[in-house]
A and B are shown apart, each in its own frame.
Chain A
Amino acid sequence: MTVFLIIIVIALLGITLWQMSKILNLSKSHSSEDPSIATDKDNKNQGYLMLGFLIVFNIFMFYNFWEYSRFYLPEAASAHGVQFDNLMFLSLAIIMFVQVITQFLLHYFSFIYRGEKGKRAYFYADNDKLEFIWTIIPVIVLAGLIIYGLFTWSDIMNVEEDEDTIVIELYAYQFGWKARYAGEDNTLGKANVRFIEGINTVGVDESDSYAKDDKIVSELHLPVDKKVLFKMRSQDVLHSAYFPFFRAQMNVVPGMITQFGFTPTITSEEMRQTDYMVDKVKTINQIRKENSKELVANGDMALDPYEFEYYLLCNKICGISHYNMQMKIVVENEEDYKEWIAEQESFGETLAKQEEQ
């Protein structure tokens, strides 16, 4: 596909160059013609080019939607994500509707009203009614979008913490993530970077009794259909915790605790089984296989085949390895989650182990 597109682009470039030389020759031979001010012939040519561009542009937009809309993330894996996607599709539909109409008018007018000698332009300076109409229409449409958006926004951002909410601390540092689960007491121990020492890498206050049962891990496991609230802390610079599949994002700011809560609704396994993901993984593995051939030929290791996992990535420039600051997320049913969390070592145990040594 790319090769094909590149060939088209190169061909277009070639045509351009050819036309360029032709035009240059023409402009040389017809020295009587003004080389700087548009003539009727130019108006006509450029008018037709405007029409041509309108057609090509529409085809290009259509092609983009046809070919690239598969890039849009799979169905939202969180409760609020569904609302997000609805609002997104509604906005996109409105936008494309306006886009197609206005671009049509703009280029079509450029074509149809191209200048000719003797033609008279219509002196038309004002029309209050018209201007009122196209002020009020955006007002109404935008008011609708604003209201819809704001309701969704406050739904998403106002996280009510109740007993069932799982509170997890998300800890960002150059260049990785850690998560701290609150343990049996469901309360996170105090923490500050000033407590960082030795194996206490995220700076938990060792004297805080709530901290003893906290569990620090480097892979997120979330039970499905349970509300999770992330409390975020950064060790050094700004990071951004971006959960694209859950339509969630929040910056992680040194010196303060930021938060974002959502309810995951689709387990990793379920997501892997969706048609979307089966197709996507197949395509990706094909690409990886192709790329591996070249790598192997050069004596490098082949790429591992890809299996889908949710991930969390850093989305605020944070340094040299910003591009590779990720954490695996596993969404699973509650039993599996409980089993997993039970296996993890608590902070108290880690400390005790160290003392033994």
Chain B
Amino acid sequence: MSATANATLAQDHHEHDDHGHHHKETFITKYIFSQDHKMIAKQYLITGLLMGSLGILMSVLFRMQIAWPEESFVIFEWLLGDKYAPDGVMTAEAYLSLVTIHGTIMVFFVLTAGLSGTFSNFLIPLQIGARDMASGFLNMVSYWIFFISCMIMISSLFVESGPASAGWTIYPPLSALPEAIPGSGMGMTLWLISMAFFIAQSLLGSLNYIVTVINLRTKGMSMTRLPLTIWALFVTAIIGVVSFPVLLSAALMLIMDRSFGTSFFLSDIYIKGEVLAHQGGSPVLFEHLFWFLGHPEVYIVILPAMGLVSEVMASNSRKPIFGYRAMVASILAIAFLSTIVWGHHMFVSGMNPFLGSVFTFTTLLIAIPSAVKAFNWITTLWKGNLQMNTGMLWSIGFVSTFITGGLTGIILGDSTLDINVHDTYFVIAHFHLVMGISALYGFFAGVYHWFPKMYGRMMNKNLGYIHFWVTIVGAYGVFFPMHFIGLAGLPRRYYTNTAFPYFDDLADTNVLITVFAIMAATVQLVFVYNFIHSMFYGKKATQNPWNSNTLEWTTPVEPVHGNWPGEIPSVYRWSYDYSKMNEDGTDYVIPGQDFIPQDVPLQKNEEELNH
């Protein structure tokens, strides 16, 4: 079925090329309700960037409150208004809302949809040699559902009782009872509806990615010749399909508890002078359901970044990725383990301590494939000919933060040690480095690397260098000291730490962290400028600016619908034949060229390697 569809599509294009025509496309079908995966990818990218700006702005606001508690800032008055910042002093309610929505936006809207939505859509058809996604229509629908989801989430910022403020993990009963916190009223309802839409778009997208990778690979593109980007995006989609429905069920049950009087998560509650009728439910059940998605979710966030980094790093090192099979195996191992470690978020939730032991075991196991990946990336650099393009810098930065953040996972994954650092700033430091910052670095590596393919123009490298160096200094400046205030026993989500004089000597460090945060946030403007400016005035890109092997660089610079104007190229090799020597060892396989694109057949003087 798909093969025939492809053939007709190819035919179509031939005819058009003969006449020198393009499809008749109106502005609306080309830029808005587009079914072209490249346009949809860009829509995801721009939406993700906009949501990201909002999320980062929020973090700056609440970091200012943490550093200078209850001080008056004009900017608070401007942005939060009289109700949430009377006389420019942020209220506790506003603080909790900002923290909650920052987490929600960054985890779901930026690092899930913005990252995997952008690059799955963009790279899967291009790198496997397909004309488009298996279903262009579903793909379009999935973006527009995402858009609706974003709009609902943003609209929740403007409701009278305020947006959701029970933390991004929305544990009931706090999230279920408007009596417990104002944000659990209309704001929480909108949050849940928005997430339901989000999950729908994620499922539609993921199913599409899976089907496309399985069915639409070009001739010769066996699974073992897939670039690691595709492996990562493919497995990410599978994890998404497995785990997102569970969050949907949790959200539905929460909606029922909130609005229809069921008691899935509620029991024995006395609030505002009244005993509620709910009986027999358990908040711990919600925690299980939430983290059954929530933990795989962090791998949904980080795996695409790993894939992008593997590709960018190999290409810029002019070396094959080291241990391709081990890299694939570790992606699969991480994916499998990711679904059986959720309980490490719940060591002190009141669940049976024996379960804690089991989850400690599985959690520490996941360190093994992660370690293998880190070592393999480092070895990929070894004896390379490193081209320090901006994408490459972000990739190196990714490995650095992934190691720094990942190592502290050994502490948090250990049920014993978690007892005293659970929900402290130590956790914040850990997961921001290992999934937040790392995934963002992977995202930037991807944007800088594939920008020429997306917009036909190059981004400015010098602005990219500035962006990278200030960001990496800022990010470490924020999150490295944060471990230590966590070890002092400082809990997260505290509006101010002044209620405990014991924390007074941490105040200086909190100021330092905020200053670094403002610095890192400000320098993102350089990226925004570079991105927008290069889109219109950047240097025109050549077809294969980074001398890469993957198939997307065989498409014309000016993108066409269907990706290749002629036939789809066949694939004869894996995508990592960089600096491969001929059998005599006198020169590269193709003399004078240190890369062999995937569509180049095996050469005469070339040794065939099985990877």
> Known contacts A9-B516, A99-B404, A249-B419: does B171 contact A238 (CB below 8 Å)?
yes
Decide yes or no whether B387 CB sits under 8 A from chain A: yes
Contact pick for B481, options A68, A84, A193, A287, CB 8 Å: A68
With A and B bound together, what is the CA distance between A15 and B389 in angstroms? 22
Q: List chain A residues, Cβ under 8 A from B399.
A: 106
The binding surface of chain A is classed by DSSP as helix
Q: Does A46 reach chain B (CB closer than 8 Å)?
A: yes
Q: Would you give the shortest CB distance from B452 to chain A, in whole angstroms?
A: 8
Interface residues of B in 573-596 (CB under 8 A from A): 576, 578-581, 594
What interface size band does chain A fall in?
A: 35 or more
Complex contact A61–B173 (CB within 8 A) = no
- Among A37, A103, A248, A306: residue with most chain B CB under 10 A: A37
Is A266 in the interface zone, CB < 8 Å from B?
A: no
Assembled-state Cα–Cα distance A314/B280 (Å):
24
Q: Is A199 an interface residue (CB 8 A)?
A: no
Residues of B within 8 A of A2 (CB): 508, 511-512
Given A5-B512, A121-B319, are A203 and B270 also a contact pair (CB < 8 Å)?
Answer: yes
When distances are taken between beta carbons in the complex, the residues of chain A under 8 Å from B516 are 9
Contacts of A142 in B (CB 8 A): 364-365, 367-368, 410
- In the complex formed, the residue of B with least CB distance to A304 is B501
Selected contact of B368 from candidates A34, A138, A321, A324, CB within 8 Å: A138
Segment with Cβ contacts to A, from B29-37, B50-58, B293-301, B346-354: B346-354
A149 to B416, CA, bound (A): 6
Q: Mark A112-154, 1 if CB is under 8 A from B, else 0.
A: 0111100111111111001100110011001001100110111
CB atoms of A121 and B317 under 8 A apart: yes
Contact A36 B460 (CB under 8 A): yes
Nearest A residue to B546 by beta-carbon distance?
A: A37
Bound CA span A168–B349, Å:
19
Asked whether A250 and B505 contact (CB < 8 A) given A84-B417, A110-B386, the answer is no
Cα-based distance from A291 to B516 in the complex (angstroms): 23
Contact B578 A321 (CB under 8 A): no
Query: Residue-by-residue, is B355-379 near A (CB-CB < 8 Å gives 1, otherwise 0)?
Result: 0110011001101100110111111
Asked whether, in the complex, the Cβ of A114 is within 8 Å of the Cβ of B388, the reply is yes
Does B508 contact A1, Cβ atoms closer than 8 Å? yes
Known: A73-B488, A153-B353, A193-B270. A145 touches B282 (CB 8 A): no
- Is B411 among interface residues, defined by CB-CB distance under 8 A? yes
Q: Is the CB of B460 within 8 A of A27?
A: yes
Q: Collect the chain A residues with CB atoms within 8 Å of residue B580's CB.
A: 123
Tell me the minimal C-beta distance from B281 to chain A in angstroms.
7
A6 interface hit (Cβ, 8 Å): yes
Contact code string B464-505 (vs A, CB < 8 Å = 1, else 0): 011001101100110011011101110101111101111011
Kindly identify which residue among B283, B317, B458 contacts A254, using a CB–CB cutoff of 8 Å. Answer: B283
Assess whether A250 is in contact with B348, with CB atoms less than 8 Å apart. Answer: yes
- Are A37 and B496 neighbours in the complex by a CB distance under 8 Å? no
Assembly CA distance A47 to B386 (angstroms): 9
Please determine whether B275 and A317 come into contact, CB atoms closer than 8 angstroms.
no
* A321 contacts across to B, CB distance below 8 A: 92
- What distance in Å separates the Cβ of A338 from its nearest Cβ neighbour in chain B? 28
What 1/0 mask marks residues of chain B from 192 to 213 whose CB sits below 8 Å from any chain A CB? Answer: 0000000000000000000000
B322 in contact with A235 (CB, 8 Å): no
A35-B462 in contact (CB<8A)? yes
With contacts A19-B466, A36-B460, A130-B379 known, is A88 near B411, CB below 8 A?
yes
Segment from A49-57, A205-213, A215-223 that makes contact with B: A49-57
When chains A and B are docked, how far (Å) is the Cα of A193 from the Cα of B420?
29
List residues of chain A with CB within 8 A of the CB of B485: 68, 71
A235 to B459, CA, bound (A): 57
Q: Which 4 pairs, one residue from A and one from B, show the smallest C-beta to C-beta distance?
A: A255-B267, A244-B489, A36-B458, A157-B353
Question: A residues within 8 Å of B by Cβ?
Answer: 1-2, 5-6, 9, 12-13, 16, 19-20, 23-24, 26-27, 34-38, 42-43, 45-47, 49-50, 53, 56-57, 60-61, 64, 68-69, 71-73, 83-84, 87-88, 91-92, 94-95, 98-99, 102-103, 105-107, 109-110, 113-116, 119-127, 130-131, 134-135, 138-139, 142, 145-146, 149-150, 152-154, 156-158, 174, 192-194, 196, 203, 235-238, 240, 242, 244-245, 247-251, 253-256, 258, 280, 283-284, 287-288, 291, 303, 306, 308, 311, 313-324, 326
A-B residue pairs in contact (CB < 8 Å), sample of 21 = A1-B508, A16-B523, A38-B392, A42-B465, A53-B472, A61-B480, A64-B481, A64-B484, A68-B481, A87-B416, A98-B407, A99-B403, A106-B399, A113-B383, A121-B384, A134-B371, A149-B360, A157-B353, A196-B275, A323-B496, A326-B500
Q: Which residues of B contact A (CB under 8 A)?
A: 92-93, 96, 166-167, 171-174, 177, 180-181, 266-271, 275, 280-284, 317-326, 348-350, 353, 356-357, 360-361, 364-365, 367-368, 371-372, 374-379, 381-389, 392-393, 396, 399-400, 403-404, 407-408, 410-411, 414-417, 419-420, 422-424, 452, 458-462, 465-466, 469-470, 472-473, 476-477, 480-481, 483-485, 487-489, 491, 493-497, 499-502, 504-509, 511-512, 515-516, 519, 523, 526, 538-539, 541, 545-546, 576, 578-581, 594, 609, 611
